[in-house]
Amino acid sequence: MAELSNSDHVGRHEDTVETVAPRAPVTSERFVSPHLLESIPSPNVPRALEAVDAEHPHGTPGYQTQGYSVLQQHCQFFDLNNDGIIYPWETYIGFRAIGFNILISFLSMVIINGTFSYNTLDSWIPSLLFPIYIKNIHKDKHGSDTESYDTEGRFVPEKFEELFSKFAKEEKTRLTFWELLEMTNSQMNAYDLFGWAAEKFEWLITYLLIKDDEGYASKEHIRGMYDGSLFYTMAKLKQRRRSSTSASDKSD
């Protein structure tokens, strides 16, 4: 009997990759694609600078990363004076700039700076100004999340793609509110009260920001949220609307 070569063994293994376990129904309910290599080179390798997906294998076109990690890019919009620190008033102004009302912006400021400031400080002594230091933002990564960021703030393409392969039941590249809710429920780690609450809050705010007229959150907008490019787009859109309204009022 002829012996199998190493390449034969590898080929057979790749052809029989199983992502569903018959006695674990949840593995069939939440599908994981075994074919990401066809659209994303090394999808399991975290990207330090780019939020990569199947449609954007090189990240957001024309987006300047400035050497920041993807998680740092997510926060950079709110650093209004580019000093590497996000103070509560900057969080508030940033939320207003992307379209949130006074109440949501104020509550977000209190929650975000109140809970995420301390871990980013270089000192053990708390600051009553509640600054968030962008250079240390990776220390704010919490449990019960999507794992699309790794513990150093890099972006993990395969984890991002799983959000849609597992939970986008109605449309492949858009999520409903209820699908997002199911997603956050599925990611709960045992006894992780802070992670549970933080994840719910973050995705509720994200949904309110990006939902379209049909109530969907698109894959492109969610990806843009991860690298922060969405915030610049939303701010420009709001500014154009404001300018258009002002011009219309003057013409009247």
The confidence score (pLDDT) of residue 17 equals 83
DSSP conformational letter for 139: G
**Is the pLDDT reported for residue 178 higher than 70?**
yes
**Integer Cα distance of 67 and 49 in angstroms:** 7
* Predicted structure pTM score: 0.88
60-114 per-position pLDDT tens digit: 999 999 999 999 999 999 999 999 999 999 999 999 999 999 999 999 999 999 9
**Local confidence band at 15 (pLDDT 50, 70, 90 cut-offs):** low
Q: Rounded to an integer, what distance in angstroms lies between the CA atom of residue 52 and that of residue 118?
A: 30
56 vs 244, which has greater pLDDT?
Answer: 56
More confident residue, 123 or 247: 123
Could you state, in order of their start, the residue ranges of all structural domains in the chain? 67-251
